[in-house]
Amino acid sequence: MFKKVLVANRGEIAVRIIRACREMGITAVAVYSDADRRALHVRLADEAVNIGPAQASESYLSVERVLQAAAATGAEAIHPGYGFLSENADFARAVQQAGLVFIGPTPEAIEAMGDKGRARTRMEAAGVPVAPGYQGLDDPAALEAAAAKISLPLLIKAAAGGGGKGMRVVHQLSELVEAAAAARREAQHAFGDGRLILERYIPHARHIEFQVLADQHGNLVHLFERECSVQRRHQKIIEETPSPYLTEALRAKMGEAAVAAARSVGYTNAGTVEFIVDSQSGDFYFLEMNTRLQVEHPVTEWTVGIDLVQWQIRIAAGEPLPFKQDNLSQRGHAIECRLYAEDPANNFLPATGPLLTFAVPSGPGVRMDSGFTSGDQITIHYDPLIAKVTAWGENRPAAIQRMTAALRETVLLGITHNGQFLQDVLSDPQFIAGGVYTTWVEEHFNGWQPPQCGLPPEVLVAAALAQLQPPSAAADEHDPYSPWRMPNGYRVGQ
C-alpha cells in the first residue's frame, strides 16, 4: 500500500479523498492555488503545496506543477478526483512516466472513452446499444442528409467532450445548420475540437448510469445504477439509487451492457457508464463513459456499503476485488442533492461571496460532503458547488423525508443558493411518484421564485460581524494538533 498520496484537486472531493487516505493510514498531500490558501482541504491534509495563481489553467490544470509538487513531497501516487485533470490521458501518462501511480484507469482507456465519436463506434462493436446517429463530415449538406435519415427531433453533441457543452436540440430541419454552427463554436472553445455527432433525440428520456469497478486481475463488476434525470442546463442536481423507473429485468440488462462497455476498453479502477433510457419504450442507449470518480458516488456507497475512494486506492496499489457480481446487492434507498451557490430564480446564475454562516445537518442516515466552512469565500474561479447532501432510508419515501429534513437543517447565510429550490423539487408530486425526466426541471420549474420569507436583516448583520472579530493569537500557533487548526475544533471569538 502507498505511504503517501497527492490529491490533485480541491473542494469537497479533495476533502473526501484526504479523509479516505487518513482512514487507511496514508499521508495525504494537498495542492492549492493562491485563492485556496486557507481552504478546508489544505487545513485537513498532512502536507500542502502551493501550485500557482487562482486561475485553474496555471494551477490545478498545470501538469508540470502538480508533478513538481508530487516530486517535492515524495508522493508515490496521485489521485485526480473529478474534473480538472481527472480525464486527461496525457496527465495520466505523465504521472506514469514520472514513476508514480495514477489512481484511475489507464491512459489508453481514458482516450478510448474520451472521444464520444470513437466511443460510439467501439460500443457498437461491443454490442452495447447506441442511439441512431451520424458522425462524419459536418458540412451543411452532409448534416441535412444525415438528419433526414435519423428523423427529427435530433441532438447535436460535441464529439470531444460532454457536460452539456456543444449540445443543441433541433426540432425542425431549418434550425439544423445554425444550431450546428453554434454547437461547433462552443465545442471548439471548450475542448479545442469542433467535431460534432448527430443522434436521435429522445423526448422525456431518463438519464441512468451504472457504477463499475475493476481491478488489475480481470475482475470487473457493476455496483448498480444511479438515476440522474433531475437536471438543469444538462447538469445533474439530484441523484438517487435505486432508480424508481427500472425493473429488475431492465436493471440486469443495463448492468450487463455497462460491464461489456468497460471490458471493451480494458478498464480498471472506478468508472461510470451512462445511458439514456426511453421512458416510453424502455429502450436504452449508451451515452458516454466517465473514466473517473463521479460527483454522485456517495449514494452508491450508502446502498452497497463499499467505500469507492478506498477501493480506487487499493486497486491502484494492485489489490484484487474480494467480491464477485453475485455477492453484491443494495440495501435501502439513497438520494443526493447538490447544494450550489447559484440563483434558481435567475436562470441558475452562479453566485459569489462569503459564507457568513454554514451549519450542516446531522443525524442518522445523513451525510454532508463539502470543501467549505463558515467564513470561507465562493469565488469566480471555480465551480460553485458548495456541498453535497446525501440521505439514506429503508425505502424511497423515507429517504425523501430524511433528505428534506436535512436540507431544512442546513443553514447558509451570506450567499444565494439553491437550497429552497431543491426542497421544492423533492416535494413535487411528480418527483415523489418517480416520474421525472431530463427536461422535467426546465418544463415544470420555469419561472420558479423562492417564498417571500427572508431572514431579518439583523440576522445577516450579526453573522457578518461575527466573522469580522479578530481571531485569537492561538490561531497562529504552529502546533498542527492545536484545535485552532482543526476544522471541527473550538474557535472562541470566531
Q: Tens of pLDDT along 306-345?
A: 999 999 999 999 999 999 999 999 999 999 999 999 999 9
- Strand 205-214 with 269-278, pairing: antiparallel
- pLDDT tier at 480 (50, 70, 90 boundaries)? very low
Q: Tell me how far CA of residue 302 lies from CA of 65, 297, 440, 442, in angstroms.
A: 35, 9, 26, 29
pLDDT for res 164: 74
- pLDDT tier at 455 (50, 70, 90 boundaries)? low
Find the helix packing angle between 308-316 and 11-23, rounded to 10°.
70
Looking at residue 130, the DSSP 8-state letter turns out to be B
**Beta strand segments in 19-64, E:** 27-32, 47-50
Question: Catalytic site residues?
Answer: 292
Comparing 115 with 123, the larger pLDDT belongs to 123
221: left (phi over 0), alpha (psi -120 to 50) or beta: beta
- Domains identified in the chain and CATH numbers: 4-103 (3.40.50.20), 132-200 (3.30.1490.20), 205-444 (3.30.470.20), 458-494 (no CATH)
At 340-363, the pLDDT tens digits run 999 999 999 999 999 999 999 999
pLDDT for res 190: 82
At 387-427, the pLDDT tens digits run 999 999 999 999 999 999 999 999 999 999 999 999 999 99
Residue 462 in this model has a pLDDT that exceeds 80 = no
Specify the pTM: 0.89
335 Cβ neighbours under 8 A, 6+ residues apart: 238, 239, 240, 299, 390, 391, 399, 400, 403, 426
Residue 219 in this model has a pLDDT that exceeds 70 = yes
pLDDT for res 454: 59
CA distance 11 to 30: 11
pLDDT for res 468: 57
Residue 488 in this model has a pLDDT that exceeds 50 = no
- Strand 154-158 with 196-200, pairing: antiparallel
Comparing 152 with 103, the larger pLDDT belongs to 103
At 132-171, the pLDDT tens digits run 999 888 788 898 899 989 988 999 988 887 767 888 999 9
